[in-house]
Structure 1
Amino acid sequence: MNILNHIIPLDFENVIKLPDSHKWNDDHRSPVCRFPHVQVPLIDLASPHAASLIRQASEEWGVFQVKSHGIPMSLLNQVENQTRRLFALPEKRKLLAIRSPGGSRGYGMARISSFFPKLLWSEGFTIIGSPVEHAVQLWPHDHSSFCEIMEECQEEMNGLSEKLMSLMFCSVGLTNQDVKWFKPTNVCKNPQQRVLHLNSYPACPDPDQAMGLAPHTDSSLLTLLYQGNIAGLQVHRENMGWVPVQPVDGSLVVTVGDLMHIISNGRFKNCLHRAVVNRTNHRVSIAYFYGPPRDAKVSPLMKMIDTDHHPLYRPVTWNEYLHIKGTYFNKALELIRLNVDTKLG
């Protein structure tokens, strides 16, 4: 996918007609669920039943929204404002922070783009650790506020991710000892990477033929998403199709990633999702990807395995899995899946 780092994203502000390069056919734009009453679960983390509700949502949906999550609304507003500030820059300015060949940080197109026949109506900016390196390119004399707000967001999102992980593990009878592998033993050598990704979906002249973000699952354990008050996220549910995730004031969307699906031995669904665009509003969203140290070995947890539930996947480090996902995309889980007849022991 490195070739994408050499493709200049479209200057969306100056496009009057949707280019053929961005026109998706109906085969890739399957219809939305026709059951308007179907809604993604909304869970109040202050509820004494939060853990069991999260388990149910993770098993049935692989996605849920949370409120009473503890992240100040004032911070989320600041993050959204800074995100809009970034994407409102002239294209020439944004290109100063374009990802390096093979790199993951900075400005560019969605990294999944190469797996699809058409381009996406979106642009992104990825922050791993400190954003200073690229922020100084965007605002040589006025980048400190952007950096401070994004770093505070990373800290808050990381704390909430750990809380959600604890609730999920407790809901299926796991203890901290059972999952000690996902915490770094040496923070300096094996840090947990705090990946914050800013998404921009400009208003589109022909949204019915465009795609903001194509269907995919995340490689992470969990992904937290703040989508503001403009709808666009859709999740796929078996036998229903694509279900819109309606924004709820102050809430965050939590999606189960591939690694959580692996360690739960398939009990928790990894969420297939996409983003659509609209004709009038510029939508932005902020995603935080939570995962273990790159060298942590991930496999179905022993308490998820018994004589009726054989291990579904072989052990894999997150680094190895990211490489497989980056090469084979939606076939990654299939490639590490064990034969269903694999015996225990």
Structure 2
Amino acid sequence: MPSMVTEPYLEFDSMTELPDSHAWAPIDHDPVGRDNMEEAVPVIDLEDPNVFSRMADACRSWGAFQVTNHGVPPDVLDGIERAGMDLFSLPLERKLRAARSPDGVTGYGVARIAPFFPKRMWSEGFTVIGSPADHSRQIWPHDYSFFCDIIDDYKKEMERLTSKLMGLILGSLGATKDDTNWESPSDCDAIQLNYYPICPDPDRAMGLAPHTDSTLFTILYQSNISGLQVLEESSATWIEVPPLCGALVIIVGDLLHILSNGAYASGLHRAVVNRTRHRLSVVYLHGPPSGVRVRPLPGLVDADRPPLYRPVTWSEYLGAKAKYFDKALSCVRICAPPMKGLMA
């Protein structure tokens, strides 16, 4: 695995120039999407009678879509946004009290994909799996329960929504929950808060570098600031996913690509930054329970459509992703020999 960049954390608000450690090649900040609706990431009403076909089209063509009528109360979305802004507006020394350990997965820190890139990203994050109490106690020793309560409320809503979305996605593939060997919610789901500060030179900075998620799917709530982009592969064009009031973004992950036997595309996405406004996103990473092996659905496999991928657990796949990054899917393809260290 590549070595982690070791420069100290930045106090972003005090930066008036972009340091070389964060200076990327010039970035195109004029994506398609907002004004050309023919090239826009689909917006799907979950109460639409054609939801299955619309979802199937979006997953095949884009690997991403936005949803409305999802049932998550506005006050829950407002609450998690306020909690995130309260957290990231604290002085760096306070946030570092909850710093992620070198071999840890939760707490405050840089993007976990950082080791795979030569430059650092203009962002900071906070990851929660299970209860955030231990880390939030370090940040707010006298009153941390407010943060835990907000995270708990958000998690409950996401668990309800992931169950609904899983049923719809399976329906779009002509399957049902009986065709999988697990129940939602998962015991491994995570909440990731991402913060993209104001940047003195946004044309040469990257908020979050291009990547796919290792999930079944990801639910993303973004504050009212543009920054999320999805790659439209046929034209190799980055497409803006504009914030829509109350909408949530769904991104197809690598495990759903496997479950669909390659029919649904993993959504390659990135985040850019801007000069005048900071941006927050809240990401819910949904996958199967630990120990469950994800494999192509039986109804998508026959003599003419052999399985493309070997069964793999989420933890095994995360290990492959941590080692091989964008080559992880290749190492679980049946036609490819197993890469050293990955269980078959």
Common fold: TM-score over 0.5: yes
- For residue 187 of structure 2, give the secondary structure of its aligned residue in structure 1: coil
User: Structure 2: how far apart are the matches of 1:5 and 1:106?
Assistant: 18
Q: Point out where structure 2 has 5 or more consecutive residues left out of the alignment.
A: 337-344
After TM superposition, the structure 1 stretch with the greater mean CA deviation from structure 2, 230-239 or 310-319, is 310-319
User: CA deviation digits over 1:175-194, x for unaligned, max 9?
Assistant: 22211x2327xx9xxx6223
Provide the alpha-carbon RMSD of the alignment: 1.8
Instruction: Describe how 1:164-203 pairs up with structure 2 within 5 A.
Output: 164-179=165-180, 181-183=181-183, 192-203=187-198
How many percent identity over aligned positions? 50
Instruction: Describe how 1:121-270 pairs up with structure 2 within 5 A.
Output: 121-179=122-180, 181-183=181-183, 192-240=187-235, 241-270=237-266
- For residue 285 of structure 1, give the secondary structure of its aligned residue in structure 2: strand
Q: Which amino acid aligns with 2:81?
A: E
- For residue 239 of structure 2, give the secondary structure of its aligned residue in structure 1: strand
Q: Point out where structure 1 has 5 or more consecutive residues left out of the alignment.
A: 341-345
User: Structure 2: how far apart are the matches of 1:31 and 1:97?
Assistant: 33
Give yes or no for contact 1:106–1:125 (8 Å, CA) kept in 2: yes
Distance 1:207 1:148, change over 3 A: same
**Corresponding position: 1:20 with 2:15:** no
User: Structure 2: how far apart are the matches of 1:101 and 1:34?
Assistant: 38
Distance 1:176 1:34, change over 3 A: closer
User: Structure 1: how far apart are the matches of 2:197 and 2:246?
Assistant: 22
User: Structure 1: how far apart are the matches of 2:168 and 2:331?
Assistant: 30
* Correspondence for 1:52: 53
User: Structure 2: how far apart are the matches of 1:198 and 1:267?
Assistant: 30
User: Structure 2: how far apart are the matches of 1:88 and 1:76?
Assistant: 18
* Correspondence for 1:10: 10
Question: Given the two structures, how large is their TM-score scaled by the length of structure 2?
Answer: 0.92
User: Structure 2: how far apart are the matches of 1:104 and 1:211?
Assistant: 22
- Paired residues, number: 332
User: Structure 1: how far apart are the matches of 2:133 and 2:218?
Assistant: 23
Give yes or no for contact 1:207–1:278 (8 Å, CA) kept in 2: yes
User: Structure 1: how far apart are the matches of 2:73 and 2:178?
Assistant: 31
Give yes or no for contact 1:99–1:108 (8 Å, CA) kept in 2: yes
Give yes or no for contact 1:5–1:98 (8 Å, CA) kept in 2: no
Q: Using the TM superposition, give the Cα deviation of residue 223 of structure 1 relative to its aligned residue in structure 2, in angstroms.
A: 0.2
User: Structure 2: how far apart are the matches of 1:8 and 1:153?
Assistant: 32
Distance 1:316 1:223, change over 3 A: same
Question: Given the two structures, how large is their TM-score scaled by the length of structure 1?
Answer: 0.92
